[in-house]
Amino acid sequence: MIEIRDIKKKYGRCPVLNGVSLTIERGSCVGIIGSNGSGKSTLLEILAGVICPDTGAFLVDEKMAWAKQIRKKIGYVPQANPLMEELTAWDNICLWNEKADLKQALGEDGAIHMLGVDQYLKKPIYKMSGGMKKRVSIASALISKPEILLLDEPSAALDLEGKERLYDYFSRYTQAGGTVIIVTHDIHELEICSHTWILRDGKAMPYIYQGDIHELVGALEG
């Protein structure tokens, strides 16, 4: 069981998150949506341990997720490109992963192959498109086989093939017991999520997306 308990965060006098709480089942894909500035990326950064909340807890099997032994079980891909531009895709991947994990990642069922990154491993990052960079970032986060994935707009800049590969990987990943938490604005990503939460007024509210975009926009605006 994964629990987010009463997470609060403010910058100066401006509250961003005002007591976000939700429970996530293992093996599920959860979408977090909200208007611009609603705190989605801030929440993901807190869960990843990049920034600290003012109050609250992130628990994995009743253990604090920010503890060193639990943090190893979490993979995180931010919205911005985290790669070192002067290095190749392979060098970036090696920089963030153990050698023991790399060989399996290159196999047919590995993240590098399944996301199509093996096609340009020797290419410098600065010569890549935004979609290629995104694939490398996601593949790198998956190589250590984390139990939980935190992804901020993972399909942004991906072409149709890249999205198909990514969603196929998510399906296999969750069927194997992995958990995906996605911050997204993409309607197609909502369709692959088993649960959706809206961030509004600093709190999280469950939402069932039924294909009605107008209804969704109304729910986002409150």
At 111, list the tokens. 């993240």
Residue 205 has pLDDT above 90, yes or no: yes
pTM for this predicted structure = 0.89
Examine the pLDDT at 220 and tell me if it is beyond 90. Answer: no
- Which residues are registered as beta bridge partners of 74? 148
- Is the per-residue pLDDT at 137 higher than 80? yes
Q: Could you tell me the pLDDT band of residue 68, with boundaries at 50, 70 and 90?
A: confident
Domain 1-73+147-157+165-215 has CATH 3.40.50.300: yes
pLDDT digit string, tens, across residues 98-132: 887 887 778 887 888 888 899 999 999 999 999 99
Range in 12-16, 52-56, 94-98, 107-111 with the lowest mean pLDDT: 107-111
Q: How confident is the model at residue 209 (pLDDT cuts 50, 70, 90)?
A: confident
Bridge partners for 199 per DSSP = 34, 204
- Tell me the C-alpha distance between 149 and 14, whole Å: 29
In the prediction, which pLDDT does 69 show?
72
Contacts of 188 (CB under 8 A, 6+ apart): 155, 163, 167
**What's the whole-number mean pLDDT along residues 148-156?**
91
> Mean pLDDT score of the chain, rounded to an integer?
90
Q: What pLDDT score does 145 carry?
A: 85
- Alpha helices, H only, 74-177: 89-96, 99-105, 111-114, 130-142, 160-175
pLDDT at 67 over 80: no
DSSP assignment letter at 62: T
Q: What's the Cα-to-Cα distance from 29 to each of 88, 127, 133, 192, 201, rounded to whole Å?
A: 31, 32, 23, 7, 23
pLDDT on residue 7: 96
- Give domain limits for the chain: 1-73+147-157+165-215, 79-146
